[in-house]
């Protein structure tokens, strides 16, 4: 007999077994018991939260020959027929592949026929947002006034794409993402029922990696069981979920806290060489710094951090090495890098650049401003008294004094163009991205920069002083601020050194 995947084998058979959606299952039970059954339902929510499962349980419950307090008995011929697909009066349609108007016209022509042997004919339309505009129009009239023996159940992950005319004709239920503790409890039930050996740490890892999806969680549990012949431990769970062990992460945080980019990069390199994905690695680092932020911000972290007592103790030691400002700064760097790495052809390089930026900040000094003002002129200007007659060489100094005073005053009070660059930096970066400079914008987004007169110097960047790079920034500054500047990129020595060691593939100019 063919193997049945765990998520199919353990799909809930009644409302009581559906995890994390009591606000929905309770309402549906009351409607079934009281007989107040609507003609159309809309189930919204992210993947794996139970939309299709609830629709199938509902279809059995309303047609069951021996219902039990609103739940289906799952024993009568109707329940068994719906469950194995032999009862043709419950129709499940995938709108992703059947989204044309002809598919809906077929439904419209069938709804007038009475069901054979059951009370309700039910149409479950999955991913209903994929229907074309003409298909929605064809469905509209039937959905508004269907025959009394027909129920429509529409399921979608993107409710905002459904026309308001359809929404207004359905009872809407929003399925929430399932909590980590609820997923973990369900995984324990499935594992025990299937004879799997698990430990608490492994189940916690899987529950967190599932990101609110019960189906994803059970699929990962199934994969872990296959890897170790039914024995699921923390090591196998980390391999399947891609989550890096905390000992590596704490070592990385300690290196970053001490400004030791060399040690931090070696931790990253070891993790990548062990097969961890660079994007997942960044996500794991972000998660740990998020926990550090919580420790620094909250006196009581109960319910906010899911870690063992030993890990929480180590987290407290790590958090003591940081102030909250630096943690927030590092999270900004990592978050921006994660967004870039997801779509980059070189995610490893993006990850390593993020770690260098995080570690490069002086741990003993506050993070410098991203937008520095020009330093004032400190040249000593000879004092000239008004009552003295100016003759000889002294007379030559008067214009010089006036010019320096004027220059000093202009720098103390920056021009509107300079102030505009400082105030509109995010808009400048966004304009560069919109005009096809995605690589440039992502490279300078979090960089420090300095404006001095008509010169804009961008620091700590991987960009070389190439005409196509500098002209793109100069154009964006002029378009946004109306200021003409000369752009110069400056890299820092540590970044040059590391980039030069990356397989000899990168050459830094500048």
Q: What percentage of the chain reaches a pLDDT higher than 90?
A: 48
Which long-range contacts does 115-120 make (Cβ < 8 Å, 24+ apart)? 115/89, 115/149, 116/88, 116/89, 117/78, 117/87, 117/89, 118/63, 118/78, 118/87, 118/89, 118/90, 119/62, 119/63, 119/149, 120/37, 120/59, 120/62, 120/63, 120/89, 120/149, 120/150, 120/151
**Is 56 part of any domain?**
yes
Q: How far apart are CA 181 and CA 313, in angstroms?
A: 21
Domain CATH code at residue 425: 3.30.300.180
- Tokens 């021996």, residue? 66
Q: What is the per-residue pLDDT for 463?
A: 80
- Average pLDDT estimate for 251-276: 91
Domain CATH code at residue 210: 1.10.8.60
Determine phi and psi for 285, rounding to 5 degrees: -65, -40
- Average pLDDT estimate for 417-423: 74
**Is 98 part of any domain?**
yes
Are 39 and 153 found together in one domain?
yes
Q: Between 32 and 366, where is the model more confident?
A: 32
Query: Is the Cα dihedral 323, 250, 462, 280 positive or negative?
Result: negative
The SS3 of residue 77 is helix
Listed in sequence order, the residues at least 6 apart from 222 whose beta carbon sits closer than 8 Å to its beta carbon are: 5, 6, 7
Q: What is the per-residue pLDDT for 493?
A: 55
- Average pLDDT estimate for 193-202: 89
Q: How far apart are CA 392 and CA 398, in angstroms?
A: 11
Tens digit of pLDDT for each residue in 165-182?
Answer: 999 999 999 999 999 889
pLDDT class of 25 with cuts at 50, 70, 90: very high
Domain CATH code at residue 54: 3.40.50.300
**Is 64 part of any domain?**
yes
Residue 104 has pLDDT above 90, yes or no: yes
Virtual torsion, Cα 193, 199, 205, 208, nearest 10 deg: 50
pLDDT class of 500 with cuts at 50, 70, 90: low
Domain extent, residue 476, equals: 416-501
Domain end, chosen from 174, 189, 206, is at 174
Domain end, chosen from 360, 375, 406, is at 360
Residue 301 has pLDDT above 90, yes or no: no
**Is 162 part of any domain?**
yes
Are 209 and 255 found together in one domain?
no
Are 187 and 290 found together in one domain?
no
Are 144 and 215 found together in one domain?
no
What DSSP state is assigned to residue 302? Answer: T
Q: Between 201 and 15, where is the model more confident?
A: 15
Residue 93 has pLDDT above 50, yes or no: yes
**Is 393 part of any domain?**
no
DSSP codes of every residue in 323-367: -HHHHHHHHHHHHHHHHHHTT-S-HHHHHHHHHHHHHHS-TTSPP
Are 216 and 144 found together in one domain?
no
**Is 160 part of any domain?**
yes
Are 55 and 159 found together in one domain?
yes
Domain CATH code at residue 260: 1.20.272.10
**Is 346 part of any domain?**
yes
Residue 461 has pLDDT above 80, yes or no: no
Q: What is the per-residue pLDDT for 290?
A: 94
**Stretch among 54-63, 112-121, 301-310 having the lowest mean pLDDT:** 301-310
Please give the tally of structural domains in the chain. Answer: 4
Q: How far apart are CA 96 and CA 106, in angstroms?
A: 16
Q: What is the per-residue pLDDT for 434?
A: 79
Tens digit of pLDDT for each residue in 355-399?
Answer: 999 998 544 444 433 344 444 444 444 454 444 444 444 444 444
Residue 36 has pLDDT above 50, yes or no: yes
Q: Which residues pair with 372 in a beta bridge?
A: 450
Q: What is the per-residue pLDDT for 160?
A: 92
pLDDT class of 74 with cuts at 50, 70, 90: very high
Q: Give the residue ranges of DSSP H helices in 361-461.
A: 392-412, 416-423, 425-434, 438-444
Q: What is the per-residue pLDDT for 439?
A: 76
pLDDT class of 46 with cuts at 50, 70, 90: very high
Q: Specify the pTM.
A: 0.64
Domain end, chosen from 159, 174, 189, is at 174
Q: What is the per-residue pLDDT for 429?
A: 86
Q: How far apart are CA 323 and CA 426, in angstroms?
A: 26
Strands 197-198 vs 171-174: parallel, antiparallel or unpaired: unpaired
Strands 90-94 vs 121-126: parallel, antiparallel or unpaired: parallel
- Average pLDDT estimate for 426-446: 81
Are 56 and 149 found together in one domain?
yes
pLDDT class of 299 with cuts at 50, 70, 90: confident
Angle at 268 (CA atoms; ends 264, 271), nearest 5 degrees: 140
CA distances (Å), 270 to each of 239, 245, 252, 290, in order?
15, 12, 11, 23
Q: What is the per-residue pLDDT for 417?
A: 61
- Average pLDDT estimate for 134-139: 93
- What's the mean per-residue pLDDT of the chain? 83
Listed in sequence order, the residues at least 6 apart from 489 whose beta carbon sits closer than 8 Å to its beta carbon are: 457, 458, 461, 463, 464, 465, 469, 470, 510
**Is 105 part of any domain?**
yes
Q: What is the per-residue pLDDT for 443?
A: 79
Instruction: For the chain, count helices (H), then strands (E).
Output: 23, 11
Are 126 and 206 found together in one domain?
no
Q: What is the per-residue pLDDT for 426?
A: 83
DSSP codes of every residue in 200-257: HHHHHHHHHHTTT-HHHHHHHHHHHHHHTTTEE-HHHHHHHH-PPPHHHHHHHHHHHH
Q: Between 311 and 265, where is the model more confident?
A: 265
Are 233 and 263 found together in one domain?
no
CA distances (Å), 110 to each of 130, 154, 157, in order?
21, 17, 27
Are 48 and 67 found together in one domain?
yes
Are 184 and 163 found together in one domain?
no
Are 147 and 16 found together in one domain?
yes
Residue 328 has pLDDT above 70, yes or no: yes
- Average pLDDT estimate for 132-137: 93
């Amino acid at each position: 007999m063919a193997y049945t995947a765990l998520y199919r084998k353990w799909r809930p058979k009644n409302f009581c077994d559906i995890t994390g959606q009591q606000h929905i299952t309770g309402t549906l039970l009351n409607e079934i018991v009281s007989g107040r059954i609507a003609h159309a339902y809309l189930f919204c929510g992210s993947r794996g939260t139970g939309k299709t499962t609830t629709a199938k349980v509902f279809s059995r419950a309303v047609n069951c020959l021996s219902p039990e307090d609103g739940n289906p008995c799952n024993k009568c011929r109707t329940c068994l027929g719906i469950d194995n697909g032999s009862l043709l009066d419950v129709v499940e349609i995938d709108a992703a592949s059947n989204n044309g108007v002809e598919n809906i016209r077929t439904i419209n022509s069938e709804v007038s026929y009475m069901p054979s042997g059951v009370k309700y004919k039910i149409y479950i339309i999955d991913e209903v947002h994929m229907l074309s505009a003409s298909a929605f129009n064809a469905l509209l009239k039937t959905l508004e006034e269907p025959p009394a023996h027909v129920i429509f159940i529409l399921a979608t992950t993107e409710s905002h794409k459904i026309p308001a005319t359809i929404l207004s004709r359905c009872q809407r239920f929003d399925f929430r993402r399932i909590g980590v503790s609820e997923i973990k409890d369900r995984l324990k039930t499935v594992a025990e029922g299937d004879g799997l050996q698990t430990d608490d740490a492994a189940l916690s890892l899987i529950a967190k990696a599932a990101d609110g999806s019960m189906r994803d969680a059970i699929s990962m549990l199934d994969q872990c069981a296959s890897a170790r012949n039914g024995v699921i431990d923390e090591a196998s769970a980390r391999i399947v979920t891609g989550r890096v062990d905390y000992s590596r992460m704490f070592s990385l945080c300690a290196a970053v806290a001490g400004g030791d980019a060399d040690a931090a990069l070696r931790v990253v390199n070891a993790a990548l060489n062990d097969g961890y994905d660079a994007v997942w690695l960044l996500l794991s680092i972000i998660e740990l710094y998020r926990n550090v932020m919580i420790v620094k911000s909250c006196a009581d972290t109960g319910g906010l951090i899911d870690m063992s007592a030993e890990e929480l103790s180590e987290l407290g030691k790590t958090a003591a090495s940081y102030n909250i400002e630096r943690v927030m700064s590092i999270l900004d760097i990592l978050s921006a890098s994660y967004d870039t790495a997801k779509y980059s052809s070189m995610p490893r390089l993006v990850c390593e650049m993020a770690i260098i930026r995080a570690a490069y900040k002086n741990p003993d000094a506050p993070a410098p401003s991203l937008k520095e003002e020009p330093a004032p002129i400190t040249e000593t200007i000879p004092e000239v008294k008004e009552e003295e007659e100016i003759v000889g060489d002294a007379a030559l100094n008067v214009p010089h004094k006036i010019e320096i005073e004027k220059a000093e005053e202009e720098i103390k009070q920056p021009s509107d163009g300079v102030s505009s660059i400082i105030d509109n930096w995010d808009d400048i970066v966004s304009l560069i991205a919109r005009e096809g400079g995605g690589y440039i914008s992502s490279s300078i987004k979090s960089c420090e920069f300095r404006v001095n007169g008509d010169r804009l110097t961008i620091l700590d960047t991987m960009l070389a002083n190439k005409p196509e790079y500098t002209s793109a920034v100069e154009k964006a500054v002029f378009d946004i601020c109306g200021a003409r500047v000369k752009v110069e990129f400056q890299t820092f020595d540590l970044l040059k050194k590391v980039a030069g060691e990356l397989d000899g593939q990168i050459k830094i100019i500048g």
